[in-house]
Structure formats: structure tokens, C-alpha cells
Structure 1
Amino acid sequence: MSGVLYVIATPIGNLDDFSPRAARALAEADVILCEDTRHSKKLLDRVGAKGRPLSFHEHNERDRLPEVLQILKSGRNVALISDAGTPALSDPGFPLVRACREAGVAVVPLPGPMAAVTALMAAGLPTDRFAFLGFPPETAGKRAQALAEAALLPMTVVFYLSPHKTARQMPDLAAAFGERPAVLARELTKIYEEFIVGTVAGLAAQLTAEPPKGELVLVIQGKPEAKATDDEKQETLARFTAEGLSGRRLAKALQERLGLPRGEAYKLALSVDETAGDE
């Protein structure tokens, strides 16, 4: 019988954020895949892990796959962790998880800290929809194209930034997003945790003048959706009415199709009933 791959999210700064369930799985694993075995030693010692640490990072993960799959197929359990946060999300792990699924090996996720979600929780920007885009591309051309595409998204956008790269990347972000509202989260869950509120252009100027320390998460408001014109509202209303929609169903359809506030959609739907009553 094959072993189990445990994908374990680890603290992004505060070790007290590590769940008892995750600590137990990490302590009991036979082999522990670490992005950096030296970095993970503190956490492994804290939970009393006895498993064999094995380096597993972006430069060797594909070469390690056969070895790890053989370990799992031999019946031993494997824990996958990154330096901080959730594996496979802007961290090593995706190829291994996919290979395990294809090989019929059980994969058990143990949720926990993730910098992107932690930043969203306190940013004060819309969270009903968001796009997590990881780190911007390294090369200038690819970065400019990716940022231009991201600026068109009608939802909150989240980027990771490395402090030593912000000086060359923030101007590109400012060029793509301009005065779009944004929040920069720094040193999340640590002693010097900080949230800086402003616009992308303003934050770019600030970070260029004062290079930041610590890992960064940039949360940017999505592109505002164009408001429907009165003609578009009436045309859509007439089409839905002709399809037999009325009352709440009509209001909900108008809200979803035109992006109207709930109250306005119901008022527009009600106008049909009032018109019918006048006739």
C-alpha cells in the first residue's frame, strides 16, 4: 500500500500559527521535503520531527520526482513544506502533487498560512473575487506584458514582491496600474508587520525612495467595470422580459448581466410591473 503525501502549510513568520494537526503530520512523516533544510530546521525541531529531511526546491523538484514517488510507493509517508506559507502556490510542489494524482498516491492538504490571503484579510479591498499572480516576471518585456494584462482584470489582484527587486519592478507596476488603490503588506505576522495604504503610483514612488525590508505582498484594486448606459439597461430589461422573467428572477438576472447594485436591479425590475399595472 502506498504512503501519503502531506502538503503542509507552514508559518510565514509567527511559529504559533502552525496548527496542531499540521505539527502532528510533520512530526510523524518518514521523509520531509524541504525547500531549504537548514531554514526548516527550527520548525522541525519545534515539532520533534524524526523524518529524514530531503531538499526539494524549484531547481531540483523535477529531478527528485522519481525518487519521491518510489518512497511513497514503498509505503512511507512524505511531508512537503516550503520555507514559509503554502506549498505549490508560488512555491515548489505542483509537479509532485500532479505526479501523485497520476500515480494514484493519496495527497492530503493541511491548510494554514498563506501570505496572499493574509494580506487580503486586512487590506480592505474587495475579496469576493481576486487573482493571485505570484511574483512578476523577471524580464522587463514579459513583466510589462503580464502587468498590462493584469491591469485589465475586474477583480482584486495580488502580487508577491522581493525587497531587492522592488526598485526595478514598482515603476512597471505604476505604469500599468497608475493611481489604482492599493495596499502594501510587509513582514506579515512578524513583529514589524505593516500595511501601507495608497495608490500603486504613490507606493512606487515611496518604495523607490525608501527601499523596503522583508517580503512584500501588494494588493491592488481591480479595474472598475464600465457602468451600463440607460439604453443598455432598457434593452436588457426588454430582452429578459420577453424571455418571461419577472420579479426576483428578473432582478437577479439584471444584477448579474449589468453589474447593477441589488437595489437598482430590483427597482428596474419593479418598473415592469408598474408599467403593466398602468396598462
Structure 2
Amino acid sequence: MDTQTSFGTLYIVATPMGNLEDITFRAIKILKQVDIIAAEDTRHSKKLLSHYDIKTRLISCHEHNEVNKIPHLLTHLKNGLDIALISDAGTPTISDPGYKLVTAVAKEKIDIIPIPGCSAAIAGLSVSGLPTDSFLFLGFLPKKKQKLRQALESVNNETSTLIFYESPRRVKTLIDIMQNTLGDRKACLAREITKLHEEYIRGNLSDILESLNEKEVIKGECSLFVHGQMEETTIDKEQLEKMLCEKLAATDIGTSDLARQISKEFKVSKKYVYNIILKLRTANFIT
């Protein structure tokens, strides 16, 4: 006889990110039916449970006690009790506690069932205005600037849309370093998704940073969506010289700024472009 048929089930239940109405009927049903709800912050989760008259036993399972809680939760599951894991907002285990618990439960061949719902990464991506056919979720990056730069440099050539989470205190630092590391790419900053002061700022990274600098205070967790590396565009010397002549004739842009702009657009050496511009000016192609 397979004794595992008497085991309970671990449900990974997505909860609202802010608006309490963003929860599925199935999630409410599961939270009422299970024997135990393991929550990231019991005080925070009580508001949701009270709103839907859910009286299931509530225990804590967060970043600092998850490892110690695993043996107890496994015992409950092996004794046939069903457990629902919830985080403060959105889908558990996605930049939230729960990964270690899920891994441990999976090793015991106990059923783990997702109850889908909110996710800031997916919700924000859907309205970002950036490509959605391929994306790379990177969550929270290292806090130390050197490690942050290294993390960004490692995805510099990634062509998929990049998704990051960041706190309101560090988001401007992230964007500033990102702009210098990845270039001034198209992006979208989503803040306070589904909440009262919901906001989406679209444009280049420099535009978003400028908008944030105008705010006295930045509140709410932030999700940042950044365009991936564009496919390399090639251009021969004759085409390059013709285009530079046209740009120099039409604008008074500086040599260095123009070289930087063309270098990024066509993936050619800035020094190479700079020297061509100097040659054109010296030869009096541009008056």
C-alpha cells in the first residue's frame, strides 16, 4: 500500500498585491478548506483573512524562520493535514520565502499545487509597452554597488526584456547605475501596482530617473522593466559617413555626443565614429 496517499497537500496560494478584490474564488475556497495557513507576516495576512471571513489556523513562515519551520510543516503534511503558503502580496516563492519549503516537500514526494493569481512581474510586464514574448526575471539585485554592477554587466547582452524588483529607497541608485552599465534603454517603472497611488513611468531610463528626482518622496515597492539588448545593426563606412554628414548638417550636436549616440545605435566603436566625425569636420564637409 502506498502510504503517501494519506499525505496532505501543500498549496502555493497567490494573494492580492494591494486591492483585496484581486483574489480568485478558488484561492478563497482553498484558504477556507486547508488545515493551516503559513503566512509571511501573520499580522498583515489577518487583514485579508478577516475581509473574507477566513478562520483557518494561521502560523508564520518567513525568511528568518523558514528553515526551522520546515520539519514541523512536513510533519503536519505527513499526518494528512493540508497547508496553504501565502506571502504578504502576490505569488509566494517569487522573490519571497517558500523556495526552501517547496524543495523539502518535493523531496518527500508530497503533492504541491499552485493556486495562480497576482504577480507584480507579470502584471507590470503586461502594461510596460516592452516586448513580452521573451523576458528574464531577475528580482532583487545585490545592494552593494560593485556587485550590482557585476550583476548588470552579466545580462548586458541579454535580448529578452529584463524584470527587476527594487525598494523605493534604492530604485534611483539602481536606475543610475543601470543607465551607465546597460545604456539609456527604453524602460517602464511600475509602482504601487493595484493600489491607490498606482503609477507607471515609461520612457528611457534617463527619463524615468528625471521623473523620480522630481518627487519629494518615493513610496511603494517598485518593479522595473528594461528593454533587452537590441540586435546588432551593421553599417559600412560609406553609409556611416553619409549619415554623419546629414546629422552634422542638420544639428549642432557635439562630436563626442554624436559619436556616443551612433556607437550605441549601430554597435560600432565610439572611437571609430569619433575619428570619422573629426575627419569630416577637418575636410570641411560640414560648414
TM class by shorter chain equals 0.7 to 0.9
The alpha-carbon deviation at position 198 of structure 1 amounts to 1.2
2:219 is matched with 213
Equivalent of 2:169 in 159, 164, 170: 164
For residue 60 of structure 1, what is the aligned residue in structure 2? 65
Alignment check: 8 A CA contact 1:174 1:204 kept: no
Note the aligned Cα RMSD (angstroms).
1.6
- Partner Cα distance (1:176, 1:60) in 2: 36
Match of 1:237 in 2: none
1:83 to 79, 83, 88: 88
The gaps in structure 1 that reach 5 residues or longer are 231-279
Aligned: 1:143 with 2:155: no
Give the structure 1 partner of residue 9 of structure 2.
4
Offset at residue 178 of structure 1 (A): 2.4
String of CA shifts for 1:23-64, please: whole Å, max 9, x gaps. 110111211111100000011112322222111111111111
What does residue 276 of structure 1 align with? Answer: none
Q: Does 1:181 align with 2:186?
A: yes
Contact 1:188/1:194, CA 8 A, preserved across alignment: yes
TM-score between both structures, scaled by the size of structure 2: 0.76
| Structure 2 unpaired stretches of 5+ | 1-5, 237-287
Given that 1:72 and 1:78 are in contact with CA atoms closer than 8 Å, whether structure 2 keeps it comes out as yes
Q: Among 73, 89, 112, which residue is 1:107 paired with?
A: 112
**Greater shift in the superposed pair: 5-14 or 132-141:** 132-141
Structure 2 residue 16 is the aligned partner of structure 1 residue 15: no
Separation in 1 of the partners of 2:83 and 2:43? 18
Does the aligned pair in 2 maintain the 1:29–1:49 contact within 8 Å?
A: no
The one-letter amino acid of 2:186's match is P
Conserved? CA contact 1:28–1:50, under 8 Å: no
The match for 1:192 among 179, 197, 201 is: 197
C-alpha contact 2:171 2:222 (8 A) present in aligned 1 = no
How many Å apart are 1:70 and its aligned residue? 0.6
Partner of 2:285: none
Runs of 4+, deviation exceeding 6 Å:
none
Mapped partners of 1:87, 1:54: distance in 2: 15
8 Å contact from structure 1 (residues 26, 47) kept in 2: no
Higher helix content, 1 or 2 = 1
Q: Which residue of 1 aligns with 2:97?
A: 92
Question: In the aligned structure 1, how far is the partner of 2:60 from the partner of 2:165?
Answer: 23
Q: Which piece of structure 1 moves more, 42-51 or 110-119?
A: 42-51
- Aligned partner of 1:133 in structure 2 is 138
